[in-house]
A = this chain, B = another copy of it.
């Protein structure tokens, strides 16, 4: 789920201090940061390792981002997903949830490594935690809300179903926690089963 927005660095307001790096160079540096985060995690990531991987100097990295937290935050912000990345519309709630589950699971191995590499550091760093939420959670929550609103409009589920609030969490949770607890990701049959066994019956229940 790492989308490139290579124009990022050139989209500064007129008069803003100009960056010393080209947009392309900046994107290369951020890619090196992501690769290292996946390999060794946040705590063991060092500025010299980023410099070596990206063929730059630690002096450049410190001048531009101040240090490791600033660099990692900038890399996460740079790779914001486009708003329609999780858009699905199959015509039924069951179809939409299955398709979203498939999308979330298909990106999970990569994201899982990145989240696992960052999550310990995020416990002690509210800014990093906020960037992680924007990177991983917000796109899924917004896409899920569109799916659920269409299901309400079609009369498939009651508008006041209390389970609505938990659906994005459930999909992300099952893609992250299942591999951790069972040692392997859910396969496609289990995904369909999870939607049918948990999500649909919960969503069909109105508020009491």
Chain A positions within 8 Å of B, measured between CB atoms, are 40-44, 112-113, 115-117, 119-123, 126, 129-130, 132-133, 136-137, 141, 161-163, 165-166, 168-170, 172-174, 176-178, 180-183, 193-194, 196-199, 201-202, 204-205, 208
User: Looking at the complex, which one of B119, B130, B132, B201 makes contact with A163 (CB distance below 8 Å)?
Assistant: B201
B165, B173, B183, B202: the one within 8 Å of A133 (CB): B183
Q: Are A197 and B201 in contact, with the CB atoms below 8 A?
A: no
Q: How far is the CB of A115 from chain B (nearest CB, A)?
A: 8
Q: What's the Cα separation between A29 and B112 when bound, in Å?
A: 31
Q: Which residue of the partner chain, among B123, B163, B205, contacts A113 with CB atoms under 8 Å?
A: B123
Kindly report which residue of chain B lies nearest to residue A161, judged by CB atoms. B197
Are B197 and A163 touching (Cβ within 8 A)? Answer: yes
Q: Enumerate chain B residues within 8 angstroms of A117, measured Cβ to Cβ.
A: 120
- Contacts known (A113-B123, A197-B162); A129 close to B43, Cβ less than 8 A: no
Chain B residues with CB below 8 A from A121, complex form: 41
Question: Assuming the A-B contacts A43-B40, A170-B198, A197-B202, are A116 and B123 also in contact, with contact meaning beta carbons closer than 8 angstroms in the complex?
Answer: yes
B residues near A132, Cβ cutoff 8 Å: 180
Instruction: Check if B180 sits within 8 Å of A119, measured CB to CB.
Output: yes
Contact: B123 with A166, CB < 8 Å? no
Q: How far is the CB of A36 from chain B (nearest CB, A)?
A: 11
Residue of B with least CB distance to A198: B202
Partner of A201, one of B130, B141, B205: B205
Q: Are A169 and B197 in contact (CB under 8 A)?
A: no
Bound CA–CA A141/B208 (angstroms): 29
**A84 CB, min distance to chain B CBs, angstroms:** 21
Give complex CA distance A44, B163 in Å.
39
Q: Chain B: which residue is nearest A167 at the CB level?
A: B198
Q: A130, B197: Cβ atoms under 8 Å?
A: no
